[in-house]
């Protein structure tokens, strides 16, 4: 095997009958650059362990004609500067025939032998390979990700009130004893894990086809805007697939239960405090153009210290809505005013004030004021027997109401009586009969409103400082204001 003895910028040495070329010095030659490219493309060059020259450099490790991809080193040295391959008819530039010049054993050794190290790759290429193949840094364990991050913010929106509030989760509340059940909701005593206090849970059952009752939506929208000591507080709303739960402040009883425990009529001083708070709460919501439309003892909550709170705004309505859309099927029958009983839908705050008058007399006497039994006409009959049957002379337009026209034969004519004659206890209270008469007027335009009721002479014995209290402060925060012992209580057999 022969190599040209005088190659440019290189010297030749003879060893074991084979002429070998010395490694060039200085800058990288074209051959070295091609070596790098071939190393990436075709893998490492290898020689068998039996090769006596295996410890030589990569350039001297193979005979001169066993070069890269079958080309001799002379061929590579003569590559033109523009990168073109020289003409192939030069006998020294002919492609090397691997299959014809290597024995079978030699060919197998060359194909199967593996280099014991990576020296056949240039150091630069080895370094580049290590950079490319460097493994990614494993992710940190979850236990370390949140380590030392006590203020890590949650991104899930929990509450109907918005933000990252912890409210709005059903697991935040524990359901305890049932307190009462209505047509579409059940009220439970509950415990809040968020505030560590007892709450009332009003659980509304949802129908999959119908969704949330409109009364529940109305109650939530109104109560979120009402903040007053004499209006029950809505703390939270929890919405699940089956239920919609309102979380209210817990008040341990209502006026109906309070009167049952103290039957026979309440202490007159306590009645005055309850009435003042009732006027105060209604004045607040009426000034915000909200009608309760279901004022009755069951919807007036009484706290342990005697705070009265308006509750159950399921029938409440914003007065800004046109009045002709109102329904006459509002207010429990015993506390429904005569104009609504006769079919009027053109009502205002006077609707609630009639119920206040009925409750006032009931607290004093211990019995319902107008206890209708059968239907609306039976209820009207109970009212007209005491207050007299209305006529156009005293109530203009009453005979044109739908219920009045259809009630011919059912509405009887009665004379007017003084409330003090029917309920003598009203005369035992200073200005008591006057206040009751101001509230129980057949003509809705003549009924006293809540702000005027607060200034009635009936309350003149109360401290003047009560009128200066902020909305969210209780009247019992003033020194000397407290409930009296119910000394007139009698027990039922």
Positions annotated as catalytic residues are: 294
Give per-residue burial for 134-148: e unless 16+ CB within 10 Å, then b. Answer: eeeeeeeeeeeeeee
Task: Measure the CA–CA gap between 220 and 238, rounded to whole angstroms.
Answer: 11
Residue 67: name the closest of 94, 27, 28, 105 by CA: 94
Task: Measure the CA–CA gap between 284 and 51, rounded to whole angstroms.
Answer: 105
Q: How far apart are the first and last CA of the chain?
A: 133
SS3 369: coil
| Size (the chain), residues | 493
Q: DSSP state, 230?
A: T
Task: Measure the CA–CA gap between 186 and 85, rounded to whole angstroms.
Answer: 93
In terms of Cβ atoms closer than 10 Å to its own Cβ (0-12, 13-18, 19+), residue 253 is: middle
In terms of Cβ atoms closer than 10 Å to its own Cβ (0-12, 13-18, 19+), residue 312 is: buried
307, 230 Cβ separation under 8 angstroms: yes
183, 216 Cβ separation under 8 angstroms: no
On whether 202 is known to bind a ligand per the annotation, the reply is: yes
187, 203 Cβ separation under 8 angstroms: yes
307, 474 Cβ separation under 8 angstroms: yes
CB atoms closer than 10 angstroms to residue 280:
24
Task: Measure the CA–CA gap between 466 and 478, rounded to whole angstroms.
Answer: 8
Task: Measure the CA–CA gap between 259 and 373, rounded to whole angstroms.
Answer: 21
Specify binding-site residues for ATP. 202
Specify binding-site residues. 202
């Amino acid at each position: 095997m022969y190599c040209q003895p005088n190659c440019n910028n290189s010297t030749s040495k003879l060893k074991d009958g084979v002429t070998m070329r010395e490694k060039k010095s200085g800058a990288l030659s074209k051959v070295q650059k091609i070596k790098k490219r071939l190393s990436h493309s075709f893998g490492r060059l290898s020689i068998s362990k039996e090769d006596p020259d295996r410890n030589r450099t990569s350039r001297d490790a193979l005979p001169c004609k066993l070069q890269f991809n079958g080309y001799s080193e002379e061929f590579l040295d003569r590559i033109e500067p523009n990168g073109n391959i020289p003409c192939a008819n030069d006998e020294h530039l002919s492609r090397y025939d691997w299959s014809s010049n290597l024995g079978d054993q030699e060919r197998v050794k060359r194909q199967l032998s593996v280099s014991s190290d990576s020296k056949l790759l240039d150091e630069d290429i080895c370094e580049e390979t290590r950079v490319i193949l460097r493994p990614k840094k494993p992710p940190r364990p979850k236990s370390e990700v949140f380590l030392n991050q006590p203020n890590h913010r949650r991104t899930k929106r929990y509450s109907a009130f918005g933000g990252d509030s912890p409210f709005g989760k059903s697991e935040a509340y524990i359901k305890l004893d049932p307190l009462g059940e209505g047509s579409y909701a059940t009220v439970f005593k509950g415990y809040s894990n968020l505030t560590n206090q007892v709450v009332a849970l009003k659980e509304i059952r949802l129908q999959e086809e119908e969704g949330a009752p409109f009364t529940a939506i109305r109650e939530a929208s109104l109560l979120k805007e009402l903040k007053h000591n004499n209006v029950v507080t809505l703390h939270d709303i929890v919405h699940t697939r089956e239920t919609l739960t309102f979380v209210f402040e817990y008040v341990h009883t209502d006026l109906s239960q309070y009167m049952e425990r103290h039957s026979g009529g309440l202490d007159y001083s306590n009645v005055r405090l309850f009435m003042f708070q009732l006027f105060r709460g209604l004045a607040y919501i009426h000034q915000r153009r909200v009608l309760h439309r279901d004022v009755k003892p069951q919807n007036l909550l009484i706290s342990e210290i005697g705070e009265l709170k308006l509750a159950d705004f399921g029938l409440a309505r914003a007065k800004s809505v046109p009045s002709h859309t109102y329904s006459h099927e509002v207010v429990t029958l015993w506390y429904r005013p005569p104009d609504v009983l006769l079919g009027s839908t053109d009502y205002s705050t006077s609707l609630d004030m009639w119920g206040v008058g009925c409750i006032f007399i009931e607290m004093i006497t211990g019995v319902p004021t107008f206890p209708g039994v059968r239907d609306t006409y039976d209820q009207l009959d109970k009212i007209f027997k005491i207050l007299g049957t209305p006529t156009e002379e005293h109530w203009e337009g009453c005979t044109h109401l739908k219920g009045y026209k259809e009630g011919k034969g059912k509405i009887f004519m009665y004379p007017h009586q003084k409330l003090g004659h029917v309920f003598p206890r009203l005369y035992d209270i200073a200005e008591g009969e006057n206040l009751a008469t101001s509230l129980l007027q057949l003509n809705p335009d003549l009924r006293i409103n809540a702000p005027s009721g607060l200034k009635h002479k009936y309350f003149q014995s109360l401290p003047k400082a009560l009128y200066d209290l902020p909305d969210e402060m209780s009247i019992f925060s003033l020194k000397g204001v407290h409930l009296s012992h119910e000394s007139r209580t009698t027990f039922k057999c």
